[in-house]
Structure 1
Amino acid sequence: MTYRIGVDIGGTFTDLALFDDAAGTAITHKLLTSPDEPSRSVLAGVVAIAQSAGVQMGEVSAIAHGTTLVTNAVIERRGVPTALVTTEGFSDVLDIALERRYDLFDMRIAFPRPMVPRDQRLEVCERVRDDGTVVTVPEREALEAGLAELIATRGIQAVAVCFLNSYANPANERLVAGWIRERFPDLYVSLSSTVFPYPREYERWTTTCMNAYVQPIVDRYLARLEDGLGELGFTGKFLVMSSSGGTLASSIAREFPIRLLESGPAAGALMSAHVGKVLDERNILAFDMGGTTAKGCIIRGGTPIKRYEMEVARVHEFKGGSGLPAKIPVIDMIEIGSGGGSLAGTDERGTLAMGPRSAGADPGPACYGRGGQRATLSDANLLLGYLGAGSFLGGKMALDEDAAGRAISSQVADPLGVDLVEAAWGMHEVINEDVARAFRVHASERGIDYRRSSMVVFGGSGPLHGVRVARKLKIPKVICPAGAGVMSAFGLLSSPPAFEVVRSRQIAIDRLAPSDLAEICAELEAEASGVLVAGGVARDAIRIRRRLDMRYSGQGYEVEVSLPDEDPQSLRDALPQLFDEAYAAIFGMTLPGRPIEILNWKIEAYGPLAATHETYRVLQEPEGTSVLKRNRKAYFPEAGGFVDCPVYDRYALASGDSVVGPALIEERESTCVLGPADLLTVDPFMNLVIEIR
């Protein structure tokens, strides 16, 4: 028997799924996250789900883990004291940034603080030309003296080594790293030429500083997890989800923790693409809402959009340029602070405000009965009848409706001068509009019309809000997969091992020999494949994707060109046409006769999918013999207010069943809210397919 476990940690809940690959079945579990020590909830959840399946830990072949640890550490500035070692005269690059105002008319504009304060930056005399020629080699004595002082006065635990032209030749960075590791073996060291060797120094250095800033806490966290799993008897592979949609061996995740940004959400986006593929829905808007945040991802042609830069810790949620750039391969997503734990209150204008701060898991929303006093979205959904006080988490966690009412009355209804129901509905609707607005901005920035797409909803709160958000966006169909409440954990178990190598090597096409193209690709392919082989992937099972960043000579920015799966040596003559096609797809024109050059080389190695079945059947017994569990008062303003709403047991529904709204479909980890006249049909894969009417 082959069993695998996926574990996705969120700010409020930890989601787990156990796959039985022989039987093609899945078991799910959800528990509150332990924010003081996340590994505790992971280990407790693994034990619980294995026991519920009757599986011994020694029978589990792999555990895949997605975490928000890196994202939260950067946003909340909970990393370790970090030093920057940089080229003499360039220590202020982190402050100068791009010299770009993200809002021209904001007289009080604010920018995020650099990851490394100015008094923790150390300049060394070194220089490499942009062609890779070493001009000046750094001096060891001055470097070690400067670092020793920073360790003594600032408690430095990690170092980011960032030299000006190290992307062209990393020799000086590697030399300095060797000295640091020899003289200060307890320091964690990150090199910009290793983390992401791109020519633009601000983005490269900021990314490297973030990598160094979180590396010690990620290393210790993964060590605690692996030790704890070992004590439980687990001897299989431990994998960590990356932001690009592939799983990494733990050793690689420890070296490049910056690649774990958006780790869990990436798994959900990949699973949405898989659901779309199974249902022949090629264009998808994936909507994930949990207890702390909401995420959206646009999937085109069956593949999530991918980027090589994201922003972290934005000062303004929807304003590009107001955050810190991270140059990493990442699935393109929008994330906002809207979730079940989003705190409600009034803003300086005296109007209703929701989020972005969350009650988290401790103490959690007022209705959790764990000491929380603040009104949250979950409290509103309980009062509106969308959540059942006795059926939350399959009845394992009772909700306190009176506590929810008291919190909303004192913090929302009374200050706004409205009744309790109006306040709760306002909270629910503000979140819906916040999510819809974020998706509109995200899609318009990418020039995509989502109105002919279908929406896949998941996460603990996604099915609660998905239908109303889709209606606002004029999306005609919503798909709620089986196990939607823990779908990111499903995605962890359905993602291939993958690693991407990126190098900057500028060369004009007319100077590129066919053998040069093949040699450069082969070098990078060997590096990327080596990472997977070290993680246990058979070399003959590894496949390669090749992409080039190209531009017309003299331009400042480049266009990504995907290369066909052919021998690179035979592609040299096809490069101009491939570039023209990619350029025209974006700009609607080309510049005939202009010289073309390659700037960046991107090679991704990926292994086979771990999943052996197209879909996995969720094992969960119905509560009773009837599909209809009960009726409950639920609020639908289109129907005049509270209506006697039928509540259906999702696990009792069969393929081909249909339900007309208003209705509530309950499962252990979530509830799907169906609006008046909307039509739900259960498809052969047990997905709930909802037509918006």
Structure 2
Amino acid sequence: MAWRIGIDIGGTFTDVAAVEEHTGRIGIAKVLTTPRDFGQGVIEAIRRGLRQHAIDPSDVVLLSHATTVVTNALLEHKGAKCGFIATRGFRDLLELRRSSRPDLYDLFQDAPNVLVPRRYRWEITERIDAQGDVVTPLATDELPALIEAIRTADLQTVAVSFLFSFLNDSHERAVGAALRAALPDVGVFLSCEVLPEIREFERASTTAVCAYVGPLLAGYLDRLSSATAELGLPALHVMGSSGGVFDIAEALRMPAMAVESGPAAGVIAAALAGRQLDRPNLISFDMGGTTAKASVIVGHEVAVTAEYEVGGAANTRRWMHGTGHPIRVPVIDLAEVSAGGGSIAWVDPGGALKVGPASAGADPGPAAYGLGGTHPTVTDADVVLGWLDREALLGGGLPIDLAASERAIEADVARPFGLSVRDAAARINQVVNSNMAQALRIVSVERGHDPREFSLIAFGGAGPVHAVALAEELAIPEVIIPPAPGAFSALGLVATDLKRDYARTLYADLGQVDPVRVADAFAAMRTAGTAMLQAASVPPERRALPRFADLRYRRQAYELTLPVEDGPVTKEMLHHLAEAFHQKHEQNYGHANRLEAVQLVNLRLTALGKLPDLKLAQPSDWSAARLTSREVWFASTGFTPAAVHWRNGLAAEVAISGPAIIEALDSTIVVPPGWTARVAELGYIRLTRD
């Protein structure tokens, strides 16, 4: 047997998903996340998964991991002690930022923290112009003093970003070579290696992010890879933010690529499910312990954006900028809200009920877990309403303390509003559903898509609990619950391909640019991508090198990324690319101007090492069938008796009419009145209106 294993760290649970390549058989294991040392929970989860499913480590052919180390370091301001070197006169580039602000009318808002303090930011005399010509030669005589200043400051890393180095990187590379020779223990990140693209602030910010999180990521991955090697497992791979895995060496060369790796894995798994079920248009909904994430899949294609800010709130509103640190790397287009099973319900000073952003996490967790939590969470509300088993979760492995949930809701929500505990739990449920519906609107309506033309695929430990309520609010006709939804993001880690993204700036009008220039730029990236795939031992027949272009109208500040067809680059091909841009612009923004020149800004290439396709399956086991009942609350009926089924015992084509509950080891599906759940082939469950 050949197994692939994926490990995903969530806010409450760390999940391991193992898939047998030839049969698609799925095995999962869940342990509580260990926030003080994430690696401890990862290794414990791997050991449990190997033991529970009798997997020999020598049979594992792929080991992939989604890490939160990069994002957490930026959110918690716990990165490396790093420096920054800029062209003379641009020392404060990271602090000046752009003029974008999240709230135009708040004169007292604070800007995001600067990753590099001013005392560790230096300048060097050099200048290259917008054509790539040297205006001021590099002052190499300034390097000894600069090196001594870095040594005295005892820095771990240094980021180097000069003006127009994406056109001519000679100065940057000369400084980088001098630093690496004189300071071998200091990590050096050059913007021409990290992001050879236009826009000086975004390029500098991405390079600084890499320098800030690089040592932390390196230490974490080194410890984890050593521990997995001791278990006899293969080399560890890391999930990238654009939906693909890469080896540790690539992760350390470009740490910013590991941002949002967990949520990206879930969307990749959703796309795989869409292909298996022939559902080309999906809205993926992932509700875990601390957050809920949504993304859109159109025509089986995952939406990717290069406009992303990490460490802020930019991913919750499409047009919100200035809250975090921009990174110009491809990221799966996600909307995220602080609404998970562990999100805490509270009353603000104005008397309004709020849910999140604070979360009980894994330690101490919701009050229902009996681990010391005293604040009411979404999970506590779901327990009180009967949506979750009031005695135990995880197939009996996690005892539930109903009385603790009731006490927490009574103290913090019911009493302030003069409500019963049950009514207060229903109010918490309504608030969190409203918050999550906003995320679905962001990726659908605000992207120019009609939710009624999509199916909602729900996963995460809490996603299937709340999915139908969200579908009702947005008039989505169908909800799909995949196999092993509680560990579905971990499944995405083994259902993806080896992937690395490359980019080059080529700034010109699309109608006037010489096709040879475009072809040469693609050829250079193709050479780099092919070398990466060769180093990863990917055979030629499993390699793919799709091309893309960032395009915009003149005088626009931001671009749309479109695929570039295979074959020779010709004038006719570039004309077709311009027409595709007009159509995409009209879809996204409601208008297009075909009389306006289309500008080419960046060329992109993705190097893919394709893994054999998986066919996820969760066969039923008649011996596991069981049927009970309990009182469950629904908005349309209040508390009413509902049948409770065990998912693993449901045969294909079985139809279950609501009100009903379908329980499994990793999640719970709520089927409200007026909806019917049908068990489809391979273990998927489809919910539709009656």
TM-score per shorter chain, which class?
over 0.9
Asked whether the 8 Å contact 2:391–2:401 carries over to 1, the reply is no
Report the CA distance between 1:429 and its aligned residue.
1.4
Change (3 A) 1:312 1:279: same
Q: Which stretch shows the higher mean deviation, 248-257 or 178-187?
A: 178-187
Counterpart of 2:135 in structure 1 is 135
Secondary structure at 2:683 match in 1:
coil
- What CA distance in whole angstroms lies between the structure 1 residues aligned with 2:2 and 2:73? 35
Provide runs of 4+ in structure 1 moved above 6 Å: none
Counterpart of 1:198 in structure 2 is 197
Asked whether the 8 Å contact 1:471–1:692 carries over to 2, the reply is no
Secondary structure at 1:451 match in 2:
helix
- What CA distance in whole angstroms lies between the structure 2 residues aligned with 1:224 and 1:552? 48
Counterpart of 1:646 in structure 2 is 643
Q: Which stretch shows the higher mean deviation, 503-512 or 175-184?
A: 503-512
Q: Which stretch shows the higher mean deviation, 670-679 or 134-143?
A: 134-143
Asked whether the 8 Å contact 1:379–1:404 carries over to 2, the reply is yes
Asked whether the 8 Å contact 1:413–1:423 carries over to 2, the reply is yes
Q: Does 1:117 align with 2:117?
A: yes
Report the CA distance between 1:70 and its aligned residue.
1.2
Q: Deviations over 1:245-286 (max 9, x none)?
A: 111111101211110111011111111112122222111110
Counterpart of 1:108 in structure 2 is 108
Secondary structure at 2:681 match in 1:
coil
Counterpart of 1:580 in structure 2 is 579
Asked whether the 8 Å contact 2:652–2:681 carries over to 1, the reply is yes
Change (3 A) 1:443 1:151: farther
Counterpart of 2:293 in structure 1 is 295
- What CA distance in whole angstroms lies between the structure 2 residues aligned with 1:364 and 1:538? 46
Residue of structure 1 aligned with 2:685, choices 678, 683, 688:
688
Counterpart of 1:17 in structure 2 is 17
Asked whether the 8 Å contact 1:499–1:532 carries over to 2, the reply is no
Report the CA distance between 1:313 and its aligned residue.
2.4
- What CA distance in whole angstroms lies between the structure 1 residues aligned with 2:177 and 2:471? 54
- What CA distance in whole angstroms lies between the structure 1 residues aligned with 2:374 and 2:290? 17
Counterpart of 2:616 in structure 1 is 616
- What CA distance in whole angstroms lies between the structure 2 residues aligned with 1:217 and 1:450? 40
Counterpart of 2:169 in structure 1 is 170
Change (3 A) 1:503 1:141: same
**Amino acid aligned to 2:38:** P
Q: Does 1:437 align with 2:435?
A: no
Change (3 A) 1:231 1:443: same
Asked whether the 8 Å contact 1:63–1:239 carries over to 2, the reply is yes
Asked whether the 8 Å contact 2:543–2:608 carries over to 1, the reply is yes
- What CA distance in whole angstroms lies between the structure 2 residues aligned with 1:51 and 1:602? 43
- What CA distance in whole angstroms lies between the structure 1 residues aligned with 2:345 and 2:279? 36
Change (3 A) 1:488 1:577: same
**Amino acid aligned to 1:568:** P
Secondary structure at 1:111 match in 2:
coil
Alignment of 1:368-383 (within 5 A): 368-383=369-384
Residue of structure 2 aligned with 1:671, choices 638, 647, 668:
668
Q: Deviations over 1:106-148 (max 9, x none)?
A: 3433332222222321111121122222333444564453454
Q: Does 1:390 align with 2:387?
A: no
Report the CA distance between 1:47 and its aligned residue.
1.1
Counterpart of 2:468 in structure 1 is 467
Asked whether the 8 Å contact 2:195–2:207 carries over to 1, the reply is yes
Q: Does 1:226 align with 2:225?
A: yes
Secondary structure at 1:78 match in 2:
coil
Q: Please, what is the CA RMSD of the aligned residues?
A: 2.1
Asked whether the 8 Å contact 1:243–1:260 carries over to 2, the reply is yes
Secondary structure at 1:448 match in 2:
coil
Alignment of 1:337-486 (within 5 A): 337-486=338-487
**Amino acid aligned to 1:469:** L
**Amino acid aligned to 2:58:** G
Residue of structure 2 aligned with 1:601, choices 578, 600, 603:
603
**Amino acid aligned to 1:458:** F
Change (3 A) 1:130 1:382: same
Change (3 A) 1:138 1:359: farther
Asked whether the 8 Å contact 1:493–1:610 carries over to 2, the reply is no
Secondary structure at 1:617 match in 2:
coil
Counterpart of 2:71 in structure 1 is 71
**Amino acid aligned to 1:167:** F
- What CA distance in whole angstroms lies between the structure 2 residues aligned with 1:539 and 1:159? 37
- What CA distance in whole angstroms lies between the structure 2 residues aligned with 1:577 and 1:57? 50
Q: Deviations over 1:75-127 (max 9, x none)?
A: 22121122111111112222221223343333433332222222321111121
Report the CA distance between 1:553 and its aligned residue.
5.4
Counterpart of 2:257 in structure 1 is 259
Give the TM-score taking structure 2 as reference length. 0.95
Report the CA distance between 1:237 and its aligned residue.
3.6
**Amino acid aligned to 2:251:** A
**Amino acid aligned to 1:673:** V
Counterpart of 1:276 in structure 2 is 274
- What CA distance in whole angstroms lies between the structure 1 residues aligned with 2:447 and 2:431? 25
**Amino acid aligned to 1:609:** L
Report the CA distance between 1:655 and its aligned residue.
0.8
Counterpart of 2:238 in structure 1 is 240
Q: Deviations over 1:398-446 (max 9, x none)?
A: 1111121222222222222222112111111111000002222343332
Change (3 A) 1:139 1:670: same
Q: Which stretch shows the higher mean deviation, 220-229 or 523-532?
A: 523-532
Asked whether the 8 Å contact 1:6–1:64 carries over to 2, the reply is yes
Counterpart of 1:327 in structure 2 is 328
**Amino acid aligned to 1:111:** A
Report the CA distance between 1:649 and its aligned residue.
0.5
Secondary structure at 2:605 match in 1:
strand
- What CA distance in whole angstroms lies between the structure 2 residues aligned with 1:249 and 1:546? 22
Change (3 A) 1:147 1:428: farther
**Amino acid aligned to 1:159:** V
Q: Deviations over 1:580-624 (max 9, x none)?
A: 3322441444444x655432111112122343x4x23236856x5
Change (3 A) 1:220 1:620: farther
Change (3 A) 1:315 1:511: closer
- What CA distance in whole angstroms lies between the structure 2 residues aligned with 1:374 and 1:510? 61
- What CA distance in whole angstroms lies between the structure 2 residues aligned with 1:219 and 1:4? 24
Q: Does 1:187 align with 2:186?
A: yes
Change (3 A) 1:550 1:644: closer
Counterpart of 1:94 in structure 2 is 94
- What CA distance in whole angstroms lies between the structure 2 residues aligned with 1:167 and 1:112? 26
- What CA distance in whole angstroms lies between the structure 2 residues aligned with 1:427 and 1:305? 32
Give the TM-score taking structure 1 as reference length. 0.94
Asked whether the 8 Å contact 2:391–2:402 carries over to 1, the reply is no
- Paired residues in the alignment total 683
Secondary structure at 2:375 match in 1:
coil
Change (3 A) 1:86 1:341: same
Asked whether the 8 Å contact 1:576–1:596 carries over to 2, the reply is no
Change (3 A) 1:510 1:476: closer
Report the CA distance between 1:195 and its aligned residue.
1.5
Counterpart of 2:57 in structure 1 is 57
- What CA distance in whole angstroms lies between the structure 1 residues aligned with 2:538 and 2:282? 31
Counterpart of 2:208 in structure 1 is 209
Secondary structure at 1:213 match in 2:
helix
Secondary structure at 1:568 match in 2:
coil
Report the CA distance between 1:509 and its aligned residue.
4.8
- What CA distance in whole angstroms lies between the structure 1 residues aligned with 2:485 and 2:400? 21
Q: Which stretch shows the higher mean deviation, 109-118 or 420-429?
A: 109-118
- What CA distance in whole angstroms lies between the structure 1 residues aligned with 2:283 and 2:611? 23
- What CA distance in whole angstroms lies between the structure 1 residues aligned with 2:339 and 2:117? 31
Q: Which stretch shows the higher mean deviation, 291-300 or 186-195?
A: 186-195
Secondary structure at 1:105 match in 2:
coil
Asked whether the 8 Å contact 1:110–1:315 carries over to 2, the reply is no
- What CA distance in whole angstroms lies between the structure 2 residues aligned with 1:512 and 1:315? 38
